[in-house]
Amino acid sequence: MKIEPHASRRITLIGMAGTGKSTWAGRLATRGTERVDCDRLIAEGLSMQVAEAFDLIEALGRWMGLPWEEGYDERAGVYQAMERDVMTRVVERLENQDPDRARVIIDTAGSVIYTGRDILERLASQTLMVHLETPVEVRERMLEDFIRRPGPVIWNGMFERDGDEPVHRALARCYPRLLAQREERYRGIAHITVPHTIHRGRGTRAEDFISFLAPEAAPGSDPQVG
């Protein structure tokens, strides 16, 4: 896929929850770029009570629950259907806009990779797909963060208990596998991967971040949407 010159005006941030997508979307939005908060749009579609929560991710996590809890699969299915609906509307809007006039940053949920090939390919054709890297050493700390503040996680079949294995042990075993699989898939659909040292660097300014996303810095190969 050729990355058009206007692509850096329309950016999609992809990556795991907690990587800083919302932080960067907020910082760039102060520079005249419109932010599309997909977590918020999903929450509004699911429940006004969730959407009005002060901590949106925590509220969504409480609503969805954990993978061994009763009703989790049903709620996860409802969430995924709503996310696909939200992303379809986002893509349709992008396709109907003049790309040279609209500065937009799409702040996606971590499970956007499960919304389907068609949605991801259309999104990649309309925006610069920017992956915020999460290296292994950072992923190792994310289990503690998830236990302390569970967010809405689509496990995509990655959570399984070994017989009568305690749920906390199964979680400790399966969560790193989920993160590793997701990181691989984010890289596969991204035009650009921003190193952790840059997007989480203390001295990285908005100008530095934007400069890193210049079209000439993008890889020449097409994103591989699976």
Q: What is the pLDDT of residues 93-112, one digit of tens each?
A: 999 988 777 789 999 999 99
Single-letter amino acid, residue 212? F
| pLDDT over threshold 70, residue 122 | yes
Residue 220 pLDDT level (bands cut at 50, 70, 90): very low
Single-letter amino acid, residue 155? W
Return the closest-CA partner of residue 21 out of 66, 68, 62, 56.
56
Looking at residue 208, its pLDDT comes to 81
Looking at residue 222, its pLDDT comes to 55
Determine the Cα angle at 30 with ends 24 and 33, to 5°: 80
Looking at residue 5, its pLDDT comes to 40
CA 180 to chain centre: 14
3 vs 106, higher pLDDT: 106
3-state secondary structure the chain: CCCCHHHHHEEEEECCCCCCHHHHHHHHHCCCCEEEEHHHHHHHHHCHHHHCCCCHHHHHHHHHCCCCCCCHHHHHHHHHHHHHHHHHHHHHHHHCCCCCCCCEEEECCHHHHHCCHHHHHHHHHHCEEEEECCCHHHHHHHHHHHHHCCCCCCCCCCCCCCCCCCHHHHHHHHHHHHHHHHHHHHHHHCCEEECHHHHCCCCCCHHHHHHHCCHHHCCCCCCCCC
Looking at residue 224, its pLDDT comes to 59
Could you please state the CATH topology (level 3) that the domain comprising 5-214 is classified under. Rossmann fold (3.40.50)
Residue 3 pLDDT level (bands cut at 50, 70, 90): very low
Looking at residue 223, its pLDDT comes to 58
Return the closest-CA partner of residue 52 out of 65, 43, 63.
43
**pTM for the whole structure:** 0.88
Q: How many CB atoms lie within 10 A of CB 120?
A: 24
Which residues, 6+ apart, have CB-to-CB distance to 41 below 8 Å? 86, 89, 90
The single residue listed with the structure tokens 């790309």 is: 99
| pLDDT over threshold 50, residue 182 | yes
Q: State the average pLDDT for the chain.
A: 86
**Average pLDDT for residues 1-17, to the nearest whole number?**
70
123: alpha, beta or left? (left if phi > 0; alpha if psi -120 to 50): alpha
Task: Kindly state the tokens that stand for 116.
Answer: 């389907």
Looking at residue 48, its pLDDT comes to 72
Give yes or no for a contact between 134 and 183, defined as CB atoms under 8 angstroms apart. yes
Domain ranges within the chain, ordered by starting residue: 5-214
Percent of the chain with pLDDT over 70: 90
42-97 pLDDT, tens per residue? 999 988 777 777 888 888 999 999 999 999 999 999 999 999 999 999 999 999 98
| pLDDT over threshold 90, residue 132 | yes
